[in-house]
């Protein structure tokens, strides 16, 4: 059985995998990336925003983290900015994911230095929200 959330995550993964810098993409990874550039997607959970007779409108929060590895601070910063721009553009290219969801919106952004395997890498963490609709009786199924 294909679920609404399964479809959403497939579209997120496909969008991130298709970007020009060819990053290593993992959804809900079990550990730190070991190939760079890297993008990871994390499910932040869903909230109910409206109920109707046969459907429930929900909002999913998710985060995309990106990592770059480069020796020079300016070059690394430029690489991180480029990877971030590509990731946001890929997710926002179709704000309904082909009609799968009602709306995709970008949210908060954090830039940081990550220590992975005792090496410093530049990273970002970009939040998104997605409004989608499910069956009122089974949240795995579309309305």
What are the backbone angles phi and psi of residue 128, rounded to the nearest 5°?
A: -140, 160
Note the pLDDT of residue 72. 66
Range of the domain at 37: 4-135
Q: What's the whole-model pTM score?
A: 0.92
**What is the CATH classification number for the domain harbouring 127?**
3.30.2000.10
Banded pLDDT at 79 (limits 50, 70, 90): very high
Asked, for residue 124, whether it belongs to a domain, the answer is: yes
Q: What is the DSSP letter of 141?
A: S
CA–CA separation, 27 and 15 (whole Å): 12
Asked, for residue 140, whether it belongs to a domain, the answer is: no
The contacts of residue 103 (CB under 8 Å, 6+ apart) are 95, 96, 130, 131
Asked, for residue 143, whether it belongs to a domain, the answer is: no
Asked, for residue 125, whether it belongs to a domain, the answer is: yes
| Mean pLDDT of the region 104-112 | 96
Chain-wide mean pLDDT for the chain?
92
Note the pLDDT of residue 17. 96
**pLDDT, tens digit, 9 for 90 and up, residues 10-29:** 999 999 999 988 999 999 99
Total domains in the fold of the chain: 1
Asked, for residue 101, whether it belongs to a domain, the answer is: yes
Asked, for residue 114, whether it belongs to a domain, the answer is: yes
């Amino acid at each position: 059985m294909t679920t609404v959330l399964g479809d959403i995550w497939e579209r997120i993964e496909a969008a991130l995998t298709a970007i020009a810098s060819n990053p290593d993409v993992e959804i809900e990874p079990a550990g730190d990336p070991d190939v760079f550039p890297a993008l990871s997607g994390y499910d932040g959970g869903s909230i109910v925003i409206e109920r109707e007779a046969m459907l429930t409108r929900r909002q999913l929060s998710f985060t995309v983290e990106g990592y770059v590895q480069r020796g020079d601070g300016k070059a690394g910063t430029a690489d991180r900015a480029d990877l971030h721009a590509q990731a946001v553009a890929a997710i926002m290219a179709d704000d309904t994911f082909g009609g799968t969801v009602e709306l995709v919106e970008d949210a908060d952004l954090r830039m940081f230095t990550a220590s992975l395997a005792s090496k410093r890498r530049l990273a970002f963490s970009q939040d998104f929200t997605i409004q989608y609709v499910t069956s009122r009786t089974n949240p795995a199924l579309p309305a």
